[in-house]
C-alpha cells in the first residue's frame, strides 16, 4: 500500500469503515512508515480530544447530523466530519489544544522532543546532574545556558525530580529536567518562549509517547513520557500551577 492510498483511507480506517483487507493494509503500512504513523497518531489524538472535550454533545449525534446533511460524496462527508470536529476542538478550546492538518513548527519540535527523550533513555545519558534537590539542579545550569530554567520538585505528589541535563531541541540548547513516576521517566524541555513560535497549548501523541506543550512566564515547556495521558496531565497541571 502506498503512502497516498494510506492517507486517502486514513479517516475511513479510523472510522472503521474499511473492509478487513484494506484495514490490514493500512495497519501493515503504518507499522513500517514513520510519516503515516505520525499522521495516524495525530488523527487519533484529535479523535481522543473530541471525545474527551467538555461542553460537548455526543460525537455520534453530530456525526449523524453531518452525514445526513452531506450525502454527496464520501470525501466531502469526511471533510465535513473532520472540519466540524476541528472547529469543536477549537471552540471548546480556551487554549486547550490546536489541531493543524499541515505539519507546523509545533509538530517539528514535537518530533525533536521525542527524539531527545528516546536518545536520553537509549544512550544512558539521562543526567548531567543527578539529584533530587532542586537547589542542586537549578544552579547547575548557571553559566551553561543563556537563561535560568524554573526547577520545581513535585515529589510531594508522586513525581520526584531526579536530575537534569543540557539537551538540544529546535536548533538551540535547552534545559532538560528529568522526573520519575514509578518506572516511567518524564523529560521536560525548557527554553525561552521566543524560540518556539507555537504559543498555544498542545496535547499530542507521537510514536507512542504522550506530549504536552505550554508557555508559562516567558518559557516554553515540552513534557514527554511513555506515562499514560491522564497521569501526564496531572503532572503538567501541577507543574504549571507551581
Ligand atoms: Zn507511508
Which CATH number is 138's domain given?
A: 3.30.200.100
Distance 36 CA to ligand 1 centre (A): 4
Whether residue 84 is found in the same domain as residue 112: no
pTM summary value: 0.57
Whether residue 140 is found in the same domain as residue 227: yes
Whether residue 124 is found in the same domain as residue 192: yes
**Which residue's entry shows cell 499514560?**
228
Inside any domain, residue 127: yes
Q: What is the pLDDT of residue 90?
A: 55
Distance 6 CA to ligand 1 centre (A): 7
Inside any domain, residue 187: yes
**Spans of the chain below 70 pLDDT:** 49-106, 195-199
Whether residue 37 is found in the same domain as residue 113: no
Inside any domain, residue 27: yes
Helix (H), strand (E) at residue 217? none
Strands 184-192 and 202-206, sheet pairing: unpaired
Task: Report d(CA 116, CA 113) in Å as an integer.
Answer: 5
Whether residue 118 is found in the same domain as residue 149: yes
Q: What is the pLDDT of residue 66?
A: 45
Whether residue 91 is found in the same domain as residue 113: no
Please provide residue 173's backbone torsions phi and psi, each rounded to the nearest 5 degrees.
Answer: -75, 135
Distance 29 CA to ligand 1 centre (A): 6
Q: Which residues of 207-241 are buried (b: 16+ CB within 10 A; e: fewer)?
A: bebbbbbbeeeebbbbbbbbbebebbebbbeebee
Q: Residue 84: CB partners within 8 Å, gap ≥ 6?
A: 62, 66
What range does the domain containing 94 cover? Answer: 60-100
Whether residue 127 is found in the same domain as residue 208: yes
Inside any domain, residue 32: yes
Inside any domain, residue 22: yes
Q: What is the pLDDT of residue 89?
A: 57
Whether residue 86 is found in the same domain as residue 138: no
Q: What is the pLDDT of residue 133?
A: 93
Inside any domain, residue 18: yes
Q: What is the pLDDT of residue 161?
A: 96
Inside any domain, residue 143: yes
Whether residue 171 is found in the same domain as residue 96: no
Strands 184-192 and 209-216, sheet pairing: unpaired
Distance 206 CA to ligand 1 centre (A): 15
Distance 208 CA to ligand 1 centre (A): 17
The structural domain count of the chain equals 3
Whether residue 94 is found in the same domain as residue 190: no
Whether residue 17 is found in the same domain as residue 83: no
Distance 90 CA to ligand 1 centre (A): 28
Distance 135 CA to ligand 1 centre (A): 47
What does the CA dihedral 13, 15, 17, 21 come to, rounded to 10 degrees?
Answer: 30
Inside any domain, residue 55: no
Whether residue 117 is found in the same domain as residue 235: yes
Amino acid at each position: 500500500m502506498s503512502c497516498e492510498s494510506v492517507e486517502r483511507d486514513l479517516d475511513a480506517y479510523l472510522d472503521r469503515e474499511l473492509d478487513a483487507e484494506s484495514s490490514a493494509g493500512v495497519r501493515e503500512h503504518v507499522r513500517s512508515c514513520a510519516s503515516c504513523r505520525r499522521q495516524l497518531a495525530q488523527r487519533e489524538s484529535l479523535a481522543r480530544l473530541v471525545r474527551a472535550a467538555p461542553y460537548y454533545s455526543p460525537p455520534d449525534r453530530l456525526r449523524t447530523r453531518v452525514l445526513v446533511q452531506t450525502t454527496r460524496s464520501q470525501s466531502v462527508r469526511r471533510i465535513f466530519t473532520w472540519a466540524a470536529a476541528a472547529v469543536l476542538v477549537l471552540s471548546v478550546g480556551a487554549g486547550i489544544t490546536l489541531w493543524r492538518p499541515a505539519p507546523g513548527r509545533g509538530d517539528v519540535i514535537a518530533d525533536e522532543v521525542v527524539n531527545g527523550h528516546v536518545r536520553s533513555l537509549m544512550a544512558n545519558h539521562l543526567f548531567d546532574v543527578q539529584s533530587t534537590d532542586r537547589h542542586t539542579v537549578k544552579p547547575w545550569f548557571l553559566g551553561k545556558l543563556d537563561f535560568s530554567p524554573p526547577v520545581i520538585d513535585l515529589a510531594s505528589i508522586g513525581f520526584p525530580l531526579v536530575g537534569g541535563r543540557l539537551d538540544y531541541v529546535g536548533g538551540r540548547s535547552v534545559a532538560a529536567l528529568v522526573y520519575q513516576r514509578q518506572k516511567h521517566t518524564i523529560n521536560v524541555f525548557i527554553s525561552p518562549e521566543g524560540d518556539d513560535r507555537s504559543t498555544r497549548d498542545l496535547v499530542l501523541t507521537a510514536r507512542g509517547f504522550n506530549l504536552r506543550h505550554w508557555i508559562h512566564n516567558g518559557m516554553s515547556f515540552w513534557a514527554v513520557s511513555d506515562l499514560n495521558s491522564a497521569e501526564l496531565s496531572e503532572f503538567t497541571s501541577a507543574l504549571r500551577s507551581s
